[in-house]
Structure 1
């Protein structure tokens, strides 16, 4: 019999408009058929997935599997690294930039492995790793020992109280109009599926939107002007299937960064189909860059929302850092293997 990781499952029963709760008897049966040593727990509220993942690794479990959407996945990812003190990682300077202080994150367990069973509304990370199968096929991929090393992002930002905060992310973080869209999407009904939920949220966000004056630092260069949004991508997809960063790779040691400049509001509905196809990069006001560190601040007094992996935790200014190949992801047997 093939060897398997001792596995702890973190499941969000509310994910996918309640689909995890409805399908749990089948999910548990399929998991136990593939992984002999397995336990699980349900999340009970925001942040609980991070706590469960961290406790599982401290208890000696080798792999933690996130069952749910991208938000559940993000919480588990944050449990795989010791939570840093934001004031040791970042500082807010007199010019309004968040600057980086500290080095790479410390893993809760040096050998920890991340697994996923995507069942959320958007589940964009599954698209970024080419995970296209159904429930049975995705659980089948959790068997065996093959892993792939992928990059990990970290963001420093301001929380809802205006204090420095930090989180890790695995797929995409962005700010500006996209943060406003996530704000509305997470407060709306998700039963219609990821794509429709995000389209409706985008149309709602357009109603009173004005592109703010902003400044972006990309490693050694600075860009200023009115901006619709900034996208800092580790993976390629966000927003319920939008192929926003078609050149992004999860293991190349660089963020794919898109600066969406002063696009007028009336152009956005017509641009959406091209973003889903990944054919929007030809637009004259969209520029594409690669960087290891990215910073953004607004140059006028205006609120700016940040989002990461489909969640909206706080506000600008913000700084993003990339840690190459810092996370071990469970992959299919016979696929690319690292670690």
Structure 2
């Protein structure tokens, strides 16, 4: 059986409107299924856990990166497979695995039942991140994106949010322990993750591999705001890592201490903390892939 967890707000209501198409496809294929509709933030995690208890083989996140994040946190460390129908604003996690936005093509991937296990980043011992977690100006932008994505999508929403944040942003000091190597930096941004994309298509971690047992790390040290605007177009294509202001690492454990409470954006969802610990957890999630 297949469980579909639908975020009715995803894609400005697009995910909810696709339910009849999904029903039609599943009925034609004569496959048992059930829909679950999220009603509040975090509900997707609760529903995913219930689906495991009810012996569903595949739990499908119907929505954007936030919906995927909630479902992953519900099925992690189980043998239940994650499916994705990407109907949100950014769809960065689905982009990495080349899962198409076309509903019928995404459903075909589920029925192929080609699965693989991928790693996770466990943050502060309780949050599972399977895409990208980030701090700095881009995390502050993520807070603003929730406003702009009502009217714009993908990179456009991200860019408008960036311009809104850019004029008042000040770099801050952090201490980052990367597998025992302590570095102190004044940063514009830093990102940590298993996959490559965030912000609706920016290839922030171009060398990320979700099953290599490591988290990819990128740090952008203090630069002028003008240079940051130059960096962004390069990041769309993953070419920014050649710049002198950019450092890259691979790590199993990362410990971050900041001088003030900061926004941490985890798969598009924002939490506040001044101490962040990330540990890689191998083979944590099974996913249906293209």
TM-score category by the smaller chain? over 0.9
Q: Give the drift of 1:250.
A: 1.1
Q: Give the drift of 1:207.
A: 1.9
Q: Give the drift of 1:52.
A: 0.5
| 2:24 maps to 1:26 | no
Give secondary structure in 2 for the equivalent of 1:252: coil
CA distance in structure 1 between the partners assigned to 2:140 and 2:30 by the alignment: 40
Give secondary structure in 2 for the equivalent of 1:226: strand
| From 59, 70, 74, the counterpart of 1:64 | 59
Verify the 8 A CA contact 1:69 1:121 in the aligned structure 2.
yes
Q: Give the drift of 1:189.
A: 3.5
Match of residue 313 from structure 1: 271
Greater CA drift, 39-48 or 165-174: 165-174
TM-score by length of 2: 0.95
CA distance in structure 1 between the partners assigned to 2:127 and 2:44 by the alignment: 14
| 2:90 maps to 1:122 | yes
Verify the 8 A CA contact 1:16 1:69 in the aligned structure 2.
yes
Match of residue 285 from structure 2: 327
CA distance in structure 2 between the partners assigned to 1:184 and 1:311 by the alignment: 12
Verify the 8 A CA contact 1:7 1:35 in the aligned structure 2.
no
Match of residue 120 from structure 2: 152
Match of residue 253 from structure 1: 213
| 2:261 maps to 1:303 | yes
Give secondary structure in 1 for the equivalent of 2:148: coil
CA distance in structure 2 between the partners assigned to 1:282 and 1:145 by the alignment: 38
CA distance in structure 2 between the partners assigned to 1:215 and 1:33 by the alignment: 56
Q: Give the drift of 1:222.
A: 1.1
Match of residue 169 from structure 2: 209
Per-residue displacement from partner, 1:62-117 (whole Å, max 9, x unpaired)? 21110000000000011113xxxxxxxxxxxxxxxxxxxxxxxxx3xx32111111
CA distance in structure 2 between the partners assigned to 1:47 and 1:319 by the alignment: 21
CA distance in structure 2 between the partners assigned to 1:276 and 1:32 by the alignment: 40
- 1:32–1:252 distance in 2 versus 1, CA, 3 Å: farther
- What 5-or-longer segments of structure 2 have no aligned partner? none
TM-score by length of 1: 0.82
| From 204, 208, 226, the counterpart of 2:186 | 226
Match of residue 236 from structure 1: 196
How many residues matched? 290
Q: Displaced runs of 4+ in structure 1, greater than 4 A?
A: none
Q: Give the drift of 1:136.
A: 1.4
Q: Give the drift of 1:130.
A: 2.2
- What 5-or-longer segments of structure 1 have no aligned partner? 1-5, 82-106, 157-164, 333-339
Give secondary structure in 2 for the equivalent of 1:175: strand
| 2:33 maps to 1:41 | no
Per-residue displacement from partner, 1:164-183 (whole Å, max 9, x unpaired)? x7311111111121210111
Give secondary structure in 2 for the equivalent of 1:217: strand
| 2:70 maps to 1:75 | yes
Structure with the bigger percentage of strand: 2
Q: Give the drift of 1:331.
A: 2.1
CA distance in structure 2 between the partners assigned to 1:222 and 1:140 by the alignment: 46
Structure with the bigger percentage of helix: 2
Match of residue 113 from structure 1: 81
